[in-house]
Structure 1
Amino acid sequence: MEIFINGNKINFELENEKSAFDVINSIADFCSSSTPQQFVTGIYIDGVEFSFADEISLKKTLIKSITTLEMETTDIFGITTLSLNQIEKFISLITDIIEGSKWDSGFANIYDSMDWMKEGVDQIISIFGTEDNRLLNEKIMFVSAFDKLFKYFDKLSKDKYPFEPQTRKDALDLKNVMSQSITNLKNYLKESNKFFDYDTILENINKLICEVDEMIPKILNVSVLFQTGLDKESMDVIQRLASMLERCIGLFVIFKENFKLYLDKYTVKEVSFEEFFHTLTEHLKELMTSIENNDSVMVGDLLEYEFVPNLEQIKTILLKIKNEAFVKAN
C-alpha cells in the first residue's frame, strides 16, 4: 500500500493497523500533533473518496485490499477557511430562496439548518479572537443580522412565499451584512496566515537577531547621550528598544499558541518566557522613571546590567529556537 499526504508519498511503518480506519487515525493523530497542527480534509482509497466520519466503511476496508491511500490535510487557517466557504455557500442558498418565486417543499426545513452558521462563526472567533476586538465586532455584526434574518425563515410556508417586496429587501440587506462579515473574516485569516508562515517567521527571527546585535552598542551609549543633553537621540534608542521587546513578546506568543512549541525547554534564565518578559517590561518602566528624574546613574545601570545581558539571552534563545524548531524541522 502506498500512502500519499497532499500529493507527497510518505514512508509509514505499519504496526497493529488492520483497516483503513486504523491507518487514517494513526496518520491523523500524527498530523494533529505536528507543527503547525494539521487537520485531515480529504481521504481517497484507490481513487474513491471517503468521509472521515464514515467509520463503518473505513473499518470494513482492510489494508491488504488497498493499493493507494491518499489524504489531504491543512492547518488551522485552512480548515477555518473551508468552514467560512461552507457558510458562504449556505448564504448563497438563502439568497436564492429570498429572491426566488417558486416554492419548494425543502424550503420549510431551511430554518432547522441555519443555526450551524452562527455556531461556526462563534467557534472561529473563539480561536482567533484578538485583544483589539476586531473579530469580536465582526461576530456581533454577523450574529445580529443572522438573528433578524432567522425570524423570516421561522414559519416559512407555501402560503407565505414568495417574500413581499419590502420583506425581500430587508432580508437581502441582512444577508449582505452577514456576507460582508464572512468576507472580512476571510481577509483577516489571509493576512494572519502570511505572518504565521514558516518563511515569514524565520525572516522575523533573523531580523530580531540582527536588531539585537545593532541595539546593544547603542544602548550602552544612551547614558552618554543623556549626560551630554542629547535627550532626543537617547529617547529614540529607548523607543526602538521598547518596540523590539514588544515584537519579541509577540513572536514568543506565536511560538507557543500557533506553532505549539514546548517552550519550557527554551527557558530564559531558568524562568518562563512570560515571567522573563514581564520582568523586562518592569525594568523598562523603571528606565522611563529614571529618565524623567534625570537619574543618569540609574539609567546607565539599568541599561548595562539589565537590558544588555537580557538582550543577549533573547538572541541566544531565538537562535536556539530557529535552529531546532524551524530550520531542522524543514
Structure 2
Amino acid sequence: MLIFVNDHKLDINLEKEKTVGEVYQGVSKWVETNGKYVVSCFADGKDYGTSEMGELGFHDVKRLDFIIGEEIDVLQSSLEELDRYVDSIGSTLIGRDSLTENETRDLSEGIIWIDSILSSAKKLLKLKLNTIRPMGKGKNVEEILETLHKTVTHLESVTAIDTFLEDLRDLKLFILDLRNRTAILDLDNDKLLDIVKEYTFNLDKIKSEFRQINENFQSGKDHIGSEFLSNSVNKLNTLLTALISLRNSYPHLNLETVKVGDQELASFNKGMNECLSHIALALEKGDIVLAGDILEYELPELLDGFHPFLERIIELVETPVS
C-alpha cells in the first residue's frame, strides 16, 4: 500500500497493521504529535468513514491519501459541515408533530456532536460561550446547548418542535459568525488590510445601522432589531478579528499599544467590548430604554473614537520597514 500525506509519499514500514483503520489511527497519532490533524482520508480515491476503514483489509487498498491541516483548518471544515447539518435538521423537523425512536436517537447523537464542535471552537478561539447571545438578547450559547440537550428527547408536539427549532435558529447565527471569524484567520495580510480599510471607510454606515436597530426596538419590532443587532455585531467582530490577525502578523509594530491621545488600542477595545456587553445585558433584562440609549449615543461615540485608531494602524502596516 502506498501512503501519501498532502500528495507527498510517506516512507514508512507497516508491520503490525492489518486493516486500513489501524493505518489511519497510526498516522493520525503521528501527525497529532506534530501539532497537526487529519482533515480527511481517501482509500483509492474514496472518502471512507473511520468505522468503514476498520472493515477494509490492508491488502484491499492500493493507495491511501491523508489530507493534513492545522488545527484551524480542521475547525473550518467542521463548522462548514456543522452548518449543513443544522440546515438539514430544520428541513427534516419543520411541520412535524413527533419523531420516530430512531430519529430521536440520531438527533440526540447529533446534538452531542454539535456541542463537541462548539467546545473545540471555544478552546481554539478562546470564547466565553456564556456571554455570547446570538440574537442580542435571550439565551446565551451555553444555555441554548443545554436546552437542546434537555428537549431533544421530548419532541412530541408541534409546539415542542417549533421551540426546539427556534433555539436551533439562534445557534445557526452563532455558527455563521464562527465561520466568518475562522475564514478571516486564513486570509493573507493584504486581504486582512483590505478588510480593515473597508470597515474604516464604512464606519459611518455601521453607526447608522446601530441607530436603526434602536428604532426597531423602540417601535416594538424586537425580532427584526435583534437580527439586525446580531448582523452588526458580527461586522464588528470581523473587524476586530482582522486586527488581531494583523497584530499577530506584524508583532514588531506592537499594534495593541497604538495610541490616540492618551488611550491605547487595547484599552479602547476593552471599552468597546464592555459597551456591547451592556447592550446585551439591558436587552436580557428587557430594558429597551437603556439599550436604546447605548445604541443611539454611547456606541456611535465609541465608533467615532475608533476611526483614528484604524487610520493609524493602516498607516503603520503600509509603511515600509526602513
TM-score between the two structures when normalised by the length of structure 2: 0.48
Task: Report the structure number with the largest CA radius of gyration.
Answer: 1
